Each structure stands twice: as structure tokens, then as C-alpha cells.
């Protein structure tokens, strides 16, 4: 793990992008998703998920890499840990599954940095909070967001059904309608970091 409050951000043009087989969503509706969550909770207890904030720069302003599904919904790369799985190792596994070529020789150097946010899901519902609400003794999910430091050059393989977007912080800020409560407050969570913008 890298714990530094300085984050080197390289130009988007430093990275190259290809495609790989689609990674379909496991559920086709929110209701299906919550039902599957409930079933898994009964088997394995609280779900822990980990997501990555991958940073690049354009015009000297930090941008975050988001996966877009269809034409609207955006999400951070990451996913659910296996029961007992280490968070850092699990996040690397999820990042490779979502963004790396299938060849073991072509895995990006995922340098997992600091945890910058933790969100809690008190019930089998879509709403999450940045704290475990009072009187909730058995939250259903804990989601942790990590800064991931990228190396200067990497190759990303993006599943064919998804688009990888570099979205500037100023687009995310105060834009809960478009990006939801978790992603739209990433600019505030990153504000304490110093970005070292590396020119092209």
C-alpha cells in the first residue's frame, strides 16, 4: 500500500486502451440486485465492497476514470470482496477483472493508496450514508473507496459493453443528479491531496 498525500497524475494520453469480452451486470434491475444482496447476506453476512479512484490529468486538472454502462449510469471500477478476502488484494483482483488484459503478463501495476471514503448501506435499499446511522447494528454493506496510484504508462482492456471515461473533478462536483451521492463527493474527499501534474 502507498500512503502518500501527493498523487502523481499523468496525462490521459500516457495510457493506451483496448477492449476485451463484455462483463455483464449480474442483475437486470435494481429489485433483482437488492434481492441477490439479501440472499448473499443470509449466506455470508455483511457485504464489503471496494472501489478504486484512478486519476489522470488533462489540461492540468485531475480527472477520474469511470466505467459507463449504457448511456447514463457511471460506476467506479471495483466490486464485492469474497468472505474474508484482504481489501487491498481484493481490489487488485477486481481492477484486473474490470480493466486489465487477460494475459497475466499485461497486468497494470495497481498501487493501492489510501482509503478516502467509507459508505454504509443500513438496509436492503439503494440509499447509503457516509456513517453507520445510529440504531443500525447490522448494516448490510460497507463500501470503501481507495485512491489507486497509476504508473506512467499502462494498457487497459475495457469490457466491450462498457465505456471508460475520464471525468474532470469540476464535472463531478455538486452533480449528484448525474453521478449519485458517492461519486459526486469524490472531489471533496480528494481535496486534501496534492496532485503532482506530470506533463505529456
Residues of this chain that bind a copy of itself (CB under 8 A): 59-62, 114-119, 129-131, 133-134, 144, 168-170, 173-174, 181, 185, 187-192
Report in angstroms how near the CB of residue 114 gets to a copy of itself at its nearest: 8
Report in angstroms how near the CB of residue 9 gets to a copy of itself at its nearest: 12
* Cβ closest to a copy of itself, residue 106 vs residue 142: 142
* Cβ closest to a copy of itself, residue 62 vs residue 108: 62
Report in angstroms how near the CB of residue 191 gets to a copy of itself at its nearest: 4
Report in angstroms how near the CB of residue 182 gets to a copy of itself at its nearest: 9
* Cβ closest to a copy of itself, residue 144 vs residue 163: 144
Of 196, 86, 81, 91, whose CA–CA distance to 145 is shortest?
91
Q: Are 59 and 166 in contact (CB under 8 A)?
A: no
* Cβ closest to a copy of itself, residue 43 vs residue 192: 192
* Cβ closest to a copy of itself, residue 48 vs residue 185: 185
DSSP the chain: ----SEEEE-BGGGSEEEEES----S-SSHHHHHHHHHHHHHHH-SEEEEEEEEEEEETTEEEEEEEEETTTEEE-SEEEPPTT--HHHHHHHHHHHHHS-SSGGG----EEEEEEEEEEE-SSSS--BSSPPTT-SS-SEEEEEEEEEPPSS-EEEEETTEEEEEEEHHHHTT-HHHHHHHHHTHHHHHTTSEEEE---
Report in angstroms how near the CB of residue 121 gets to a copy of itself at its nearest: 13
Amino acid at each position: 500500500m502507498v500512503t502518500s498525500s501527493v498523487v502523481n497524475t499523468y496525462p490521459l494520453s500516457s495510457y493506451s486502451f483496448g477492449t476485451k469480452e463484455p462483463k455483464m451486470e449480474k442483475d437486470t434491475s435494481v429489485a433483482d440486485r437488492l434481492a441477490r444482496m439479501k440472499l448473499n447476506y443470509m449466506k455470508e453476512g455483511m457485504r464489503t465492497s471496494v472501489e478504486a479512484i484512478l486519476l489522470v490529468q488533462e489540461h492540468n486538472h485531475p480527472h477520474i476514470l469511470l466505467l459507463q454502462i449504457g448511456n447514463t449510469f457511471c460506476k467506479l471500477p471495483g466490486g464485492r470482496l469474497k468472505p474474508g478476502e484482504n481489501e487491498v488484494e481484493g481490489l487488485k483482483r477486481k481492477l484486473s477483472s474490470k480493466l486489465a488484459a487477460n494475459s497475466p503478463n499485461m497486468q497494470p501495476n495497481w498501487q493501492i493508496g489510501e482509503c478516502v471514503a467509507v459508505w454504509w448501506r443500513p438496509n436492503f435499499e439503494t440509499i447509503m450514508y457516509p456513517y453507520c446511522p445510529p440504531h443500525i447494528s447490522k448494516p448490510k454493506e460497507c463500501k470503501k473507496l481507495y485512491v489507486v496510484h497509476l504508473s506512467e504508462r499502462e494498457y487497459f482492456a475495457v469490457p466491450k459493453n462498457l465505456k471508460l471515461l475520464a471525468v474532470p473533478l469540476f464535472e463531478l462536483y455538486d452533480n449528484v443528479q448525474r453521478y449519485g451521492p458517492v461519486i459526486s463527493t469524490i472531489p471533496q474527499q480528494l481535496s486534501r491531496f496534492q496532485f503532482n501534474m506530470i506533463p505529456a
